[in-house]
Amino acid sequence: MDFSLSPEQNLIFDTAFEFGQKTIEPHALEWEDSFIPKDVLKEAGELGFSALYVDGKDGGSGLSRLDSILVFEALAMACPSVSSFISIHNMCAWMISRYGNSQVKDEFLAPMIKMDKICSYCLTEPNSGSDSAALQTSAEKTNDGFKLNGSKAFISGGNFSDFYLSMVRTGGIGPKGISAVLVKQGTKGLSFGKHEQKMGWKSQPTAEVIFADCSIPAKNLLGKEDEGFIYAMQGLDGGRLNTAAAALGGAQTSLNKAKQYMKERPAFGKKLRDFQGLQFKIADMEIAINASRTFLREAAWKLDNGSTDASIYCAMAKKFVTDHAFTVANDALQLLGGYGYLADYGIEKIVRDLRVHQILEGTNEIMQVMIARHFLR
């Protein structure tokens, strides 16, 4: 394995970084009060960032998972929240490309390729978070398709997105009775809760998605009936890499800001960078960032190459990277002292944003359960 970047990969990273610094970073704090403008998301789509690892034959960029995490890391250096929102759309696009028939691809995937339409991923429910196989949203068969009843919680893009890729129960209890369906915004019986007030990720709307006798046609089924949980878990392998990459990008920006501050800030007759205790802190932060980046790229390489242990490496990388990324960002805030606590310096937002990366796409405690089961079997 060679994780040094090729010229093409450096170009991918640089393109995403430049877009982020020019188009996203100057407005990151502003969008916490108003949400990400859809025209900015369309600009990202025009650059190919909305269907990164969707097969080229379906109109996607056809990149590897390793290439794709470079984009999410680079975008997150401008704003982890925006990068993560785009990554969720990417996960949905890949699932539709991978499991959808030609009719589903024409109707749903085609307008998602350049983010003319936005898709949200709906798995978590009010009473089934970590235990996602216990979801209760029902899909009763009708003459024309399915009638949905239930709700989904903490949905990024709730009452903002155009499509909702939802896991619903079409069969008995457990994972084998779950199917994946697509629901369009405006469908009768589809409604939303209020936009949630959150600690971080404020630039992306989050709301409960509610189905009340919501009827959808049979053609909106993704893949085969009762196999949706398999699709959801395979989607999450990539999702865990993506959320780790976004955490890494945010942590890198925090570290960069802390190092610059230490070079400039005087204290007790010298600069902060001259204090050995603070030098040791920066050393530990650099080690954490670089170890995280290497681990993440190895996991992406395994997923690209179909390794039998790819899923467990995605889980390990997700936990390792998001834990260390949050610690690095929090340590960076501490190094800036009172200034780190101020919004103008940018680090407090990153700390708020990165906290949720330890929770979503499977909590880090669930990652530990998966890892332990794998290695103790």
- Provide φ and ψ at 129, rounded to 5°: -100, -85
Characterize 29-40 residue by residue with b for buried, 16 or more Cβ atoms within 10 angstroms of its Cβ, and e for exposed. eebbeebbeeeb
Residue 344 structure tokens: 């103008």
User: Is 348 known to be catalytic?
Assistant: no
Contacts of 342 (CB under 8 A, 6+ apart): 348
Overall size of the chain counted in residues? 377
The H or E element spanning position 119 is: strand 119-122
**Amino acid at site 224:** K
227 contacts: CB under 8 Å, gap ≥ 6:
179, 180
CB 96, CB 55: distance < 8 Å: no
Angle, alpha carbons 212-195-203 (nearest 5°): 135
> Whole-angstrom Cα distance, residue 63 to residue 372?
31
CA angle 343, 344, 350 (to 5 degrees): 50
**Beta strands at 178-184 and 270-271: parallel, antiparallel or unpaired:** unpaired
- CB contact set of 8 (below 8 Å; sequence gap of 6+): none
Count CB atoms within 10 A of the CB of residue 177.
18
Please identify which of the residues 18, 227, 361, 365 carries the catalytic annotation: 361
**What are residue 165's DSSP bridge partners?**
121, 182
Active site residues: 361
